[in-house]
Amino acid sequence: YLSADEIRAINELIDGIERDTGAEIAVVVVPSLRDDIFSTAQELFDRWKIGKEGVDNGLLIIADIGGHQFRTHTGYGMEGLFTDAMLSYLQESLVIPGFKEGRYGESLIGYLETIGSMLRDPAVQGEVSSSADKYARKAAFRENAVGFFVFANAGIAIDLLGLVLLVQSVSNANKTA
């Protein structure tokens, strides 16, 4: 579906975007998928660990040519900028028309150029950083909340044990009296 020159251009775009912005992008083009595109995208995204740890700034672009499906799967750190509505608009305007004409590589290159331009925009970088910060705070809260609940439950167990021992000692004192 892609020529050697198109693959090279896509890889250069991806490398340039990562070098300039830190965002990690993977592109997958397949003849057809066994599963639905969302499940496949999620599985690949998780398996390949696309995006920097703690920032989750990854994008997975997947095209199922035979199934006429296209998806851009985002890490949490990219969701503030690349909302479902924004991605849908970009895909419908930049990718789908070319795909319908069999211009897969050209369409993907144009899409990646637009994504790269957006990510390099200083205002957009602030939005991505803000989204990444929100993601990091949520992840830290979840970790702290789990620790708190474990600690709180341990405290409750100790309190219950103390109560049981107190009741037993009172009961024993009553028996001897």
Determine the pLDDT at residue 33. 93
Distance CA 143, CA 69 (A): 36
pLDDT higher than 90, residue 22: yes
Task: Give the residue with greater pLDDT, 139 vs 75.
Answer: 75
Span 48-75, pLDDT tens digits = 999 998 889 999 999 999 999 999 999 9
Determine the pLDDT at residue 171. 59
Distance CA 98, CA 78 (A): 25
% of residues, the chain, pLDDT over 90: 62
**SS3 letters across the chain:** CCCHHHHHHHHHHHHHHHHHHCCEEEEEEECCCCCCHHHHHHHHHHHHCCCCCCCCCEEEEEEECCCCEEEEEECHHHCCCCCHHHHHHHHHHHHHHHHHCCCHHHHHHHHHHHHHHHHHCHHHHHHHHHHHHHHHHHHHHHHHHHHHHHHHHHHHHHHHHHHHHHHHHHHHHHHHC
pLDDT higher than 70, residue 169: no
Q: Output the pTM of the full model.
A: 0.71
Determine the pLDDT at residue 54. 87
pLDDT higher than 80, residue 46: yes
Determine the pLDDT at residue 146. 46
Determine the pLDDT at residue 80. 84
Among 18, 135, 93, 35, which residue's Cα sits nearest to residue 27?
18
